[in-house]
Amino acid sequence: MKSTSSFIANVLSIAGSDPSGGAGIQADLKTFSARGCYGMAAITALTAQNTQGVSAVQPVAPDFVAEQIRMIFADMRVDAVKIGMIANAGIARAVASALRPHHSIPIVLDPVMIAKGGAALLDPEAVAVLRDELLPLATLLTPNLPEAAVLLDEPEAVSRQVMESQAARLTLQGPTTVLLKGGHLTASDSPDILVSGERFHWFEAPRIVTKNTHGTGCALSSAIAAELAKGLSILDAVAVAKDWLAGAVATSGTLTVGSGHGSVHHFHGLWN
């Protein structure tokens, strides 16, 4: 990792494309820029989607995904990696193989499985490969409650106590640290828990009432990756990223993007 005092950090996103610009590669690159980093991207899948849902997904050939990653590492300094949509087992294996020689770089894995509108974005066959090959490479895993339930093959958490238990057990699957996001709880707040070994840290946040939540998971994981690339600890990176995302969600109403789940405002701190 390079200090921001002498370098602009470079961050690589490995994820799918969202033509509406609210999630996926497009959201990741916006986030990297908003957090003062240089963004790079290896595309795993093309999607046809807007704020109302996903109509089609076209995965990229696994060998070509791996070649994109190889070419980036062959020429560029990579200070952190964010992994988003993987799409299928072949791509999951290709990404794991391409990243394994670079495991010392911070890797933030956002296990994208279900779109905001409910469409499945991860082939069921790929879950086992993601669990066996990608989770052990992750510095930080950032699942929401439904994704954690899939990874653990058990019911979705409905309380903080269950969140603690599930997050702790996810760390046993390989990732150094887990940030389990509690946005799906039916409470007035939206707590997240960060678990690393025997250490537990709760991040408290009020629930912002808005339908503009398209790509929130992409934005948060990318912001954390950007802060790790700049040299912050995981705890500090999560705190900074969550504060930035809260502003992005709170100001999302100033955008007019679609008639469904609109995008967060990635550049709320930079645009008038």
In the structure encoding, which two tokens stand for residue 118, read together?
């409910």
139 counts as catalytic: no
pLDDT in tens, 92-134: 999 999 999 998 999 999 998 866 556 666 777 889 999 999 9
Catalytic residue among 16, 90, 182, 215: 215
Which of the residues 16, 21, 217, 262 is marked catalytic? 217
Which two three-digit tokens encode residue 252? 């999302």
Q: Which one of 31, 47, 142, 216 is the catalytic residue? A: 216
Confirm whether 216 is a catalytic residue.
Answer: yes
> pTM here?
0.94
For residue 214, the 8-state DSSP code is B
For residue 5, give every residue at least 6 positions away whose Cβ sits within 8 Å of its Cβ, in sequence order, or none: none
191-214 tens-digit pLDDT: 899 999 889 999 987 778 888 888
Helix, strand or coil for residue 257? Answer: coil
The counts of H helices and E strands in the chain are: 8, 9
Q: What does the DSSP 8-state code read for residue 155?
A: P
Residue in 22, 218, 231, 242 annotated catalytic:
218
- 215 labelled catalytic: yes
pLDDT value of position 117: 57
Q: Which residue has the higher pLDDT, 234 or 258?
A: 234
